[in-house]
Amino acid sequence: MSTASYYVPPQSRWPILASIALFLLAFGAGNLINALSAGSSTTLGGLLLGLGALLMIGILFGWFSNVVHESMSGMYSEQMDRSFRWGMSWFIFSEVMFFAAFFGTLFYVRNLAVPWLGGEGEKGVSNMLWEGFQAQWPLMTTPDMERFPGPQQIISPWHLPLLNTILLVSSSFTVTIAHKALKTGHRSRIVIWLAATVLLGASFLVFQAYEYVEAYHDLGLTLHAGIYGATFFILTGFHGLHVTLGTLMLIIIWLRVMKGHFSAEHHFGFEAVAWYWHFVDVVWVGLFLFVYIL
Amino acid sequence: METTLGQNLGDTHHEHGPAGGIGRWLFTTNHKDIGTLYLWFSLLMFLTGGTMALLIRAELFQPGLQLVQPDFFNQMTTMHGLIMVFGAVMPAFVGLANWMVPMMVGAPDMALPRMNNWSFWILPFAFAMMISTLFMDGGAPNFGWTFYAPLSTTYAPPSVTFFIFAVHMMGISSIMGAINVIATILNLRAPGMTMMKLPLFVWSWLITAFLLIAVMPVLAGVVTMMLMDIHFGTSFFNAAGGGDPVLFQHVFWFFGHPEVYIMILPAFGIVSEIIPTFARKRLFGYASMVYAISSIAFLSFIVWAHHMFTVGLPLAGELFFMFATMLIAVPTGVKVFNWVATMFRGSMTFETPMLFALAFVVLFTIGGFSGLMLAIAPADFQYHDTYFVVAHFHYVLVPGAIFSIMAATYYWLPKWTGHMLDEKLGKVHFWLSFIGVNITFFPMHFIGLAGMPRRIPDYALQFADFNSVASIGAFIFGLSQLLFVYNVIACIRGGERATDRVWEGAHGLEWTLPSPAPYHSFSQPPVVK
Amino acid sequence: AWQVNLSPGSTAIARDVYDLHMIIFWICVAIGVVVFGVMLWSIIHHRKSRGAEAHHFHENTAVEILWTLIPFGILIAMAVPATATLIKMYDSADAELDIQITGYQWKWRYQYLGHDIDYFSVLSTPREQINNQEAKGEHYLLEVDNPLVLPAGKKVRFLLTANDVIHSWWVPSLAVKKDAIPGFINEAWVIPEEPGIYRGQCTELCGRDHGFMPVVVEVKPQAEFDQWLADAKTAAAEQEAAAEQEWTLEQLMERGEQVYSTACAVCHQANGQGIPGAFPGLAGSPIATGDVGAHIDIVLHGKAGTAMQAFGGQLSAVDLAAVITYERNAWGNDTGDSVSPQQITELNQ
Ligand code: HEA
Ligand code: HEA
Ligand code: CUA
Ligand SMILES: [Cu+2]
End-to-end CA distance of chain A: 51
Res B46: pLDDT:
98
Question: Are the C-beta atoms of residues A139 and A115 closer than 8 Å to each other?
Answer: no
What residues pair up with C103 in beta bridges, in sequence order? C108, C162
Whether B257 is catalytic is yes
Residue C241 pLDDT grade (very low, low, confident, very high; cuts 50, 70, 90): confident
Rounded to 5°, angle at Cα B149 from B145 and B151: 80
Residue A74: pLDDT over 90: no
**Dist CA B293 CA B287 (whole Å):** 10
**Dist CA B221 CA B216 (whole Å):** 9
Single out the residue of A192, B118, A41 nearest to residue A200, CA to CA.
Answer: A192
Query: What separation in Å is there between the alpha carbon of B391 and the centre of ligand 3?
Result: 21
> Which one from B153, B184, B272, B404 is the annotated catalytic residue?
B272
For chain B, positions 198-257, list CB contacts with chain A under 8 A. 213-218, 220-222, 224-225, 227-228, 230-236, 238-244, 246-247, 250-251, 254
Decide: residue A37, CB within 10 A, 0-12 exposed, 13-18 middle, 19+ buried. Answer: middle
For chain C, positions 150-169, list CB contacts with chain B under 8 A. 164-166, 168
Contact assignment for A117 to C183 by CB distance below 8 Å? yes
Cis upstream peptide for B150 (omega within 30°):
yes
Contact assignment for A147 to C159 by CB distance below 8 Å? no
Single out the residue of B46, B17, B49, B45 nearest to residue B30, CA to CA.
Answer: B17
Single out the residue of B436, B366, B348, B394 nearest to residue B89, CA to CA.
Answer: B394
**Dist CA A225 CA A140 (whole Å):** 8
Contact assignment for B522 to A224 by CB distance below 8 Å? no
- Give chain A's largest Cα–Cα span: 73
Res B21: pLDDT:
84
Instruction: Write a three-state SS string for B317-328.
Output: HHHHHHHHHHHC
End-to-end CA distance of chain C: 50
| Contact status of C22 with chain B (Cβ, < 8 Å) | no
**Cβ(B327) – ligand 1 distance below 6 Å:** no
Query: What separation in Å is there between the alpha carbon of C148 and the centre of ligand 1?
Result: 35
Whether B417 is catalytic is no
Q: Which helix (H) or strand (E) holds B92?
A: helix B90-105
**Cβ(C213) – ligand 3 distance below 6 Å:** yes
Res B7: pLDDT:
39
Single out the residue of C334, C159, A169, A8 nearest to residue B16, CA to CA.
Answer: A8
Q: Which residues of A touch C184 (CB under 8 A)?
A: 116-117, 123, 126, 129
Contact assignment for B227 to A18 by CB distance below 8 Å? no
Q: Which helix (H) or strand (E) holds C156?
A: strand C156-162
Residue C255 pLDDT grade (very low, low, confident, very high; cuts 50, 70, 90): confident
Nearest CA to ligand 3 atom 1: C167
Rounded to the nearest integer, the mean pLDDT of chain A is 93
Q: Chain A residue closest to B220 (CA)? A: A98
Question: Are the C-beta atoms of residues B280 and A142 closer than 8 Å to each other?
Answer: no
- Lowest mean pLDDT, pick from A234-238, C51-55, C265-269: C265-269
Res C305: pLDDT:
63
Helices C317-329 & C292-301, crossing angle to 10 degrees? 130
Res C311: pLDDT:
86
What residues pair up with C202 in beta bridges, in sequence order? C169
Residue C170 pLDDT grade (very low, low, confident, very high; cuts 50, 70, 90): very high
Question: Are the C-beta atoms of residues A281 and A169 closer than 8 Å to each other?
Answer: yes
Of A129, A143, A147, which has the smallest distance from its Cβ to C161's Cβ?
A129
| Contact status of C308 with chain B (Cβ, < 8 Å) | no
Contact assignment for C159 to A143 by CB distance below 8 Å? no
Q: Partners for B (CB, 8 Å, 3+ pairs)?
A: A, C
Residue C156 pLDDT grade (very low, low, confident, very high; cuts 50, 70, 90): very high
User: Which residue of A94, A112, A125, A232 is the best one to mutate when testing the B interface, meaning the one whose CB has the most B CBs within 10 A?
Assistant: A94
**Dist CA B440 CA B469 (whole Å):** 7
Residue C152: pLDDT over 70: yes
Among all ligands shown, which has an atom nearest to the Cα of B303?
Answer: 4
Single out the residue of B98, B55, B106 nearest to residue B508, CA to CA.
Answer: B106
Res B209: pLDDT:
97
- Lowest mean pLDDT, pick from A76-85, A159-168, A271-280, C87-96: A76-85
Residue A243: pLDDT over 90: yes
**Dist CA C54 CA C229 (whole Å):** 77
Among all ligands shown, which has an atom nearest to the Cα of C179?
Answer: 3
**Cβ(B395) – ligand 2 distance below 6 Å:** no
| Residue A196 to chain B, least CA–CA distance (Å) | 30
Closest approach atom of ligand 3 to CA C205 = 2
Among all ligands shown, which has an atom nearest to the Cα of C169?
Answer: 3
Intervals of chain B under pLDDT 50: 1-15
| Residue B204 to chain A, least CA–CA distance (Å) | 18
**Cβ(B147) – ligand 1 distance below 6 Å:** no
Whether B231 is catalytic is no
Question: Are the C-beta atoms of residues C320 and C299 closer than 8 Å to each other?
Answer: yes
**Dist CA C246 CA C235 (whole Å):** 19
Type of residue at A201: G
Contact assignment for C203 to B347 by CB distance below 8 Å? no
Stretch C271-294: mean pLDDT, rounded?
84
Q: Chain B residue closest to A59 (CA)? A: B2
Write out pLDDT tens, residues A45-71.
999 999 999 999 999 999 999 999 888
Q: Which residues of A touch B525 (CB under 8 A)?
A: 2-4
Single out the residue of B357, B440, B365 nearest to residue B406, CA to CA.
Answer: B357
Which spans in B232-328 are helix H?
A: 245-262, 265-279, 286-299, 315-327
How many CB contacts within 8 angstroms connect chain A with chain B? 273
pLDDT higher at C242 or C126: C126
Rounded to the nearest integer, the mean pLDDT of chain C is 91
Q: Which helix (H) or strand (E) holds C168?
A: strand C167-171
**Dist CA C119 CA B191 (whole Å):** 75
| Contact status of B346 with chain A (Cβ, < 8 Å) | no
Contact assignment for B218 to A130 by CB distance below 8 Å? no
Query: What separation in Å is there between the alpha carbon of A246 and the centre of ligand 2?
Result: 43
